[in-house]
């Protein structure tokens, strides 16, 4: 079935009204996104901040008459707002899979490649992770994941036990296992992430060296290497847990940190870890520490 999307760019104050109007006109869903370039990172629990300039999109069934829809929106809103109204027709497709069209094999460091199923690089000594993230975060396209993958690629992992805290698609856990890690414990508070991690470990033949742990009950014994690609505020909140999980002399890798937050995160971990110089990709930082 085809669909119609109505898009309007509006101010922060008007956005909730337009959202409500779209719902009243029969929208099946409404979406609010940034209309400019104003990142809103790490809202507090329960906070739902929106942008100064917000693009509101309503998704309508395709049989709705688009002239009638335009007329109703124009009637209910003043002309300043409706000047930005755009109606777009969308053909139906298998939406969960559509992103795969743009997912290509990607190298990280010297040997490691992340590949969609069936696509392989030419490099003979490549270490290949075949990945389908499903609905979880982690394809390698984001700099925070890329920094972790590059770090794993150049680190000897044989004989090491790791924890992937916030495993998402399982991309880091599976990459570490394919690069030779002895065992990986993976945890995430999102059940879809746990599902995706299991499926990706199975697809890559490393499931028997992976142990999934409920995020309320992470592993109890400290390991050689803890990786957490989450956001700065959460990394600071998790500091005691992540410290306990790293054995003395072991390493911690923290990612998901914006450059201006790096000092704050590094300071939070500095009593328990000797922190190394940060690595940076675009505006994102990876921190490494060795447990004292």
Ligand X SMILES: C[S@@+](CC[C@H](N)C(=O)[O-])C[C@H]1O[C@@H](n2cnc3c(N)ncnc32)[C@H](O)[C@@H]1O
Annotate 255-276 with DSSP letters as a single string: EEEEGGGHHHHHHHHTTTEEEP
The 115-154 contact track toward ligand X, x by CB under 6 A, reads ---------------------xxx-----xx--x------
Taking CB under 6 A as the criterion, the residue among 34, 76, 190, 202 binding ligand X is 190
Q: Does 157 bind ligand X (CB under 6 A)?
A: no
Total residues at the site for ligand X (CB under 6 A)? 21
Q: Does 10 bind ligand X (CB under 6 A)?
A: no
Q: Does 171 bind ligand X (CB under 6 A)?
A: yes
For the bound state, the minimum distance from the C-beta of residue 229 to ligand X, rounded and expressed in Å, comes to: 4
Q: What angle do CA 55, 60, 65 make, to 5 degrees?
A: 115
Q: For the CA atoms of 237, 238, 239, 244, what is the dihedral angle to 10 degrees?
A: 150
Q: Does 166 bind ligand X (CB under 6 A)?
A: yes
For the bound state, the minimum distance from the C-beta of residue 174 to ligand X, rounded and expressed in Å, comes to: 10
Joined tokens for residue 63: 């049989």
For the bound state, the minimum distance from the C-beta of residue 189 to ligand X, rounded and expressed in Å, comes to: 4
Asked if 181 and 199 touch (Cβ cutoff 8 Å), the reply is: no
Comparing CB distances to ligand X, the nearer of 145 and 150 is 145
Taking CB under 6 A as the criterion, the residue among 58, 219, 250, 256 binding ligand X is 256
- CA distance linking residue 82 with residue 88, whole number of Å: 15
For the bound state, the minimum distance from the C-beta of residue 281 to ligand X, rounded and expressed in Å, comes to: 13
What are the residue ranges of helices labelled H in the chain? 15-24, 66-76, 79-82, 95-98, 143-153, 171-178, 191-203, 232-237, 239-244, 262-269
Q: Which stretch binds ligand X (CB under 6 A): 51-59, 62-70, 164-172, 198-206?
A: 164-172
Asked if 8 and 81 touch (Cβ cutoff 8 Å), the reply is: yes
- CA distance linking residue 10 with residue 69, whole number of Å: 18
Q: Does 163 bind ligand X (CB under 6 A)?
A: no
For the bound state, the minimum distance from the C-beta of residue 29 to ligand X, rounded and expressed in Å, comes to: 22
Residues that bind ligand X (CB under 6 A): 136-138, 144-145, 148, 166-168, 171-172, 187-190, 193, 215, 229-230, 234, 256
């Amino acid at each position: 079935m085809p669909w119609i999307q109505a898009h309007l760019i509006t101010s922060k104050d008007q956005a909730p009204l337009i959202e409500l109007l779209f719902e009243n006109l029969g929208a099946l869903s409404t979406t609010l996104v940034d209309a400019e370039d104003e990142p809103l990172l790490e809202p507090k629990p329960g906070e739902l901040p929106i942008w100064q300039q917000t693009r509101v999109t309503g998704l309508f069934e395709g049989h709705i008459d688009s002239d009638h829809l335009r007329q109703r929106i124009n009637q209910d809103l003043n002309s300043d707002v409706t000047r930005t109204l755009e109606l777009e027709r969308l053909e139906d497709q298998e939406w969960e899979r559509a992103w795969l069209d743009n997912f290509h094999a990607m190298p990280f460091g010297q040997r490691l490649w992340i590949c969609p199923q069936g696509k392989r690089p030419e490099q003979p000594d490549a270490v290949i992770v075949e990945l389908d993230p499903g609905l979880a975060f982690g394809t390698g396209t984001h700099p925070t994941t890329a920094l972790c993958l590059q770090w794993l690629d150049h680190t000897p992992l044989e004989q090491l036990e790791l924890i992937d805290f916030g495993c998402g698609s399982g991309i880091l856990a599976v990459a570490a296992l394919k690069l030779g890690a002895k065992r990986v414990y993976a945890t995430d508070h999102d059940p879809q992430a746990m599902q995706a991690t299991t499926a990706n470990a199975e697809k890559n033949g490393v499931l028997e060296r992976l142990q999934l742990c409920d995020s309320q009950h992470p592993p109890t014994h400290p390991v050689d290497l803890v990786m957490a690609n989450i956001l700065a505020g959460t990394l600071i909140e998790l500091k005691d847990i992540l410290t306990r999980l790293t054995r003395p002399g072991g390493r911690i890798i923290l990612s998901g940190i914006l450059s201006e937050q790096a000092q704050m995160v590094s300071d939070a971990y500095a009593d328990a870890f000797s922190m190394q110089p940060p690595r940076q990709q675009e505006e994102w930082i990876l921190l490494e520490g060795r447990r004292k």
